[in-house]
Amino acid sequence: MSLAESVETVPLKAIKSAKFGLLSPEIVRKYAIMEITTSEVYDEGGLPVRGGITDRRLGVAEPGARCETCGHAYDTCPGHFGYIELVKPVIHVGFARMIYDILRATCPNCGRIMLRNDEIKRYRERLARLRQRWRLLALNLHEKIRKKASERAVCPHCGHKKNKMKFERPYYFYEETEGGALVKLDPETLRERLAKVPGEDLELLGIDPAVARPEWAILRLLPVPPPHVRPSIQLESGVRSEDDLTHKLVDIIRMNEKLKMAIETGAPTNVIESLWDLLQYHVATYFDNELPGVPVAKHRSGRPLKGLAQRLKGKEGRFRGSLSGKRVNFSARTVISPDPNISINEVGVPYEIAKIVTVPERVTEWNIDFLRELVIRGPDVWPGANYVITPEGRRIDLRYVKDRKALAERLAPGWVVERHLIDGDVVLFNRQPSLHRVSMMGHIVKVLPGRTFRLHLSVCPPYNADFDGDEMNLHAPQTEEARAEARTLMLVEKQIITPRYGGSIIGARQDYIIGAYLLSHKSTFITKRELAYLLGAGMSAEDPPEPAILHPVELWTGKQVISHFLPRDLTWVQPTAFKSKCQDAFRCDRDEWIIVINGELVKGVLDKKSIGAEQIGSLWHRIARDYSPEVARRWLDSSLRVFLRFLDLHGFSLGMDSLHLPREAYEEIDRIVKSGIEKAYELLNDYRSGRLEAMPGLTVHETFENRIAEILSKVREEAAYVVERYLAKNSEGYLMAKTGARGSIINIVQMVAVLGQQTIRGERIRRGFRTRTLPHFPADDIGPHAGGFVQGAFKFGLSPIEYFFHAAAGRDGLIDTAVRTAQSGYMQRRLINALQDIYVAYDGTVRFGGTLLLQPLYGGDGVDVSRSDHGKIIDMGVLRLAARVGT
């Protein structure tokens, strides 16, 4: 039956509401087609036993057989329920808590709710009022009524003095007698008590007696689902393997039979009791096999059986695994690798994938020649097509078409061709975990040789991707509407500005930054050849600028190259990372300030602060905000390529000589380290002799630890100062740290001066041996060295002890990140689940799920952060600047 047919034949009804209740014994009996009377499953011939759990009257779930109830085969038989009559009733574990709540609020003698008539009347009126208009408050009131009724000890209706009840998870109930002894209440007694509670009293407790009488939560009849719910599998060896639920049901029936026998033969009560309890156990684990305090029911192999709850619960359960999570066609997944030459909008797709993932294209007068060509090329040659769909809806697989040319001739407007992905198609690209909206963006396909997806380095941060083996998914939208949305809303260039704080999440990083710095440097001059090469890399369509130097050779400055790609009307002033002495941008004779006037970079070097990602109020932020996404993207595409090509020409590598310090520097560092360690030992002496005074709120030892950490971290700080002073200003290490391309001064200090204090869980190293961290130290040594202070640096090597501490701290860091990601991931999931129904309505209000109001105006001011300047509508600074420069 095709989908179109079924829609026409099935009568449509709109669901107005859903109500949840309990199955009454009558309904169970009415729904059932038969009673299960025997625990035997198959006879010697391997045929289902009549009255057993695989009885053909329940329906058939395997091909070949016919259902004895409806006469249909496995694919059309809907399945029919059966039931098991339990000899003694048992508690439904899912409702044990509810049973307890009701029993506590009602009188065991007369069954009435433990409230006076006037109270009942008052609450009933209030409920009626609330239910009309304030549904959520009604729920609150039920809870209050329950509490109030539970507190009362003497029944106002019959005067019966109620004993205290005790509930022991998962399904045991006790009553406390006057003597204080606990008497166990069996399900039969509980059932009797619950049956006594009148319907009107149940309504007060928030239960609708029409659909959920509490005594129905104590099971006499157990519904048996048809085999469709618990299909058996035939293994290749001919052995039958039954579903977990079938196993569990057989256990229940067997226990039921044993109990019946025991009662009929008049076995002692304690035997009956224990059998009854076992029956309760089996029924409970049939519903939920992960109950706290209950041993897990196991398969013969030792594997835990799956109860009904386990089928629904959790990641692989029915809801998250089968209903919310679906597998899709027209998708692809492979390893990702970088390609700095494609646009940030693009994704490189391997030929192998482009030939499998298709896009349906409707034949029109205008594309018929093109599509005919694709059909002729067939499924094996890219670009080709895999399927042709006729106007009648027939799908023709081009793999099996002998004469594709003839088919191509028959093509006419109205047909649909499922053609291969080609350059320019829009697809969705995604990397898990999909934590925010930029985890899935629209990309333009670029079919490339190779077997990996290629993506631009600047789109790694939104996906949080790197190339150490990461895989990503690609989806090809199948309708015109979906493609249009992907292109206008999801395309990478439309996502440059994040709605989180209005900054750009995409921008230059690492190589690009250092390349841009070198290119914008004052000393950079470019020959004509190089200029042509760079402008070509940037795909410039405009004439090159006039050279800055005409004689003896024509030379251009790096700033000219950068200016060539800037928007013509851009004006911007900002400090660089090198800003030190100059306070006024316009009176600075060094490159400490960036000044761009009318798209001309007149002063300043580029660095992370000006073109990096996530930098608010930067040159790149200005471009991304003030110009269209397309202009911004084009600037980034071409400029980044230029920066990289220039870096190729220039060359950049970090070696030992990039980390050279003069002798004086080392002398100074040695002095700093020595005095630091001396101070640490002085402190240790104070601590040992008891002269150290505790800081407020801390013990003496804590004080000592704080102080020593302070002293030792100061050592690194002071060393950093020395390193920064003596390190050559044009050394690669210094440039990377200063421009923000990679690393910081701290990293250089760790390489050339001191590695510093190593920590485990944020504390100095203290564990290891009984009285010391390592056997190389005297007992009770808590000095700087024994505590993990590393005096060496990478350039000169660490001592074995230092190396060990460094490794320990490094491992701790790895564990820490692993734990943190797991914890924050779960936190994120819970948050998203709780907040997913919140939206900004068209009237600017923030609402929850179409019912509740959260804010009368989004954020209090109605500002869309992604379209604002620092949360304000306009940035006055930009306007003032424009006025000063006079554009």
Partner 1 sequence: MGRIVIGVKDVSVIPREQAKELLKKLRLKPWQLPWIRASDPLVKYAGARPGDILKIVEEFPTAEEVVCYRLVVPG
Nearer to partner 1, 138 or 885 (CB): 138
Nearer to partner 1, 4 or 876 (CB): 876
Nearer to partner 1, 146 or 483 (CB): 146
854 contributes a contact to partner 1 by CB under 8 A: yes
CB contact set of 847 (below 8 Å; sequence gap of 6+) = 838, 839, 841, 853, 854
323 contributes a contact to partner 1 by CB under 8 A: no
Stretch that binds partner 1, among 523-531, 770-778, 815-823, 856-864 (CB under 8 A): 856-864
Nearer to partner 1, 325 or 871 (CB): 871
Subset of 798-827 contacting partner 1 (CB under 8 A): none
Phi, psi of 362 (to 5 degrees): -75, 135
CB of 847 to partner 1, least distance (A): 8
Q: In what order do the strands lie in the sheet with 572-575?
A: 572-575, 593-597, 600-603
Stretch that binds partner 1, among 175-183, 405-413, 766-774, 850-858 (CB under 8 A): 850-858
Which of 143, 837, 861, 864 touches partner 1 (CB under 8 A)?
861
Token readout for 607 is 């660095």
Paired sense of beta strands 440-448 and 593-597, if any:
unpaired
Stretch that binds partner 1, among 589-597, 662-670, 680-688, 859-867 (CB under 8 A): 859-867
User: Within 10 A of 819 (CB to CB), how many other CB atoms are there?
Assistant: 10
876 contributes a contact to partner 1 by CB under 8 A: no
Residue type, 644: L
CB of 295 to partner 1, least distance (A): 43
856 contributes a contact to partner 1 by CB under 8 A: yes
Cβ burial of 64 (10 Å; 0-12, 13-18, 19+) is exposed
The C-alpha atoms of residue 754 and residue 371 are separated, in whole angstroms, by 68
CB contact set of 412 (below 8 Å; sequence gap of 6+) = 363, 368
Nearer to partner 1, 140 or 583 (CB): 140
Phi, psi of 612 (to 5 degrees): -75, 165
Closest listed residue to residue 464, CA positions, set 735, 824, 869: 824
Nearer to partner 1, 178 or 843 (CB): 843
CB of 145 to partner 1, least distance (A): 14
460's enclosing H/E stretch is helix 460-463
Closest listed residue to residue 665, CA positions, set 589, 728, 599, 730: 728
Query: What is the distance, to the nearest Å, from the Cα of residue 477 to the centroid of all Cα atoms in its chain?
Result: 23
Stretch that binds partner 1, among 110-118, 197-205, 275-283, 848-856 (CB under 8 A): 848-856
Which of 863, 878, 881, 885 touches partner 1 (CB under 8 A)?
863
Closest listed residue to residue 184, CA positions, set 197, 170, 169, 165: 165
Query: What is the distance, to the nearest Å, from the Cα of residue 95 to the centroid of all Cα atoms in its chain?
Result: 33
DSSP state at residue 580: S
CB contact set of 268 (below 8 Å; sequence gap of 6+) = none
CB of 872 to partner 1, least distance (A): 9
User: Measured between alpha carbons, how far is residue 462 from residues 419, 618, 644, 864 in Å?
Assistant: 31, 19, 21, 20
Stretch that binds partner 1, among 292-300, 466-474, 622-630, 853-861 (CB under 8 A): 853-861
Nearer to partner 1, 135 or 829 (CB): 135
835 contributes a contact to partner 1 by CB under 8 A: no
Length of the chain: 887
Using an 8 Å Cβ cutoff, are 225 and 245 in contact?
A: yes
Nearer to partner 1, 143 or 664 (CB): 143
Question: How many residues sit close enough to partner 1 to count as binding (CB under 8 A)?
Answer: 20
843 contributes a contact to partner 1 by CB under 8 A: yes
Which of 822, 831, 838, 852 touches partner 1 (CB under 8 A)?
852
Nearer to partner 1, 710 or 864 (CB): 864
CB of 123 to partner 1, least distance (A): 13
47 contributes a contact to partner 1 by CB under 8 A: no
Token readout for 132 is 């009309």
857 contributes a contact to partner 1 by CB under 8 A: yes
Nearer to partner 1, 819 or 853 (CB): 853
What single string gives the DSSP state of each residue in 832-848?
Answer: HHHHTTEEE-TTS-EEE
Angle at 809 (CA atoms; ends 804, 814), nearest 5 degrees: 125
851 contributes a contact to partner 1 by CB under 8 A: yes
Nearer to partner 1, 10 or 136 (CB): 136
Nearer to partner 1, 598 or 855 (CB): 855
Token readout for 355 is 């030939």
Which of 855, 866, 878, 881 touches partner 1 (CB under 8 A)?
855
Nearer to partner 1, 125 or 702 (CB): 125
Question: What pairs with residue 601 in β-bridges?
Answer: 596
265 contributes a contact to partner 1 by CB under 8 A: no
Q: 119-148 mask for partner 1 (x: CB under 8 A)?
A: --------------xxxxx--x--------
3-state DSSP percent of the chain in helix, strand and coil, to 5 = 40, 15, 40
367 contributes a contact to partner 1 by CB under 8 A: no
Which of 142, 845, 878, 881 touches partner 1 (CB under 8 A)?
845
Binding region for partner 1 (CB under 8 A): 133-137, 140, 843, 845, 851-857, 859-861, 863, 871
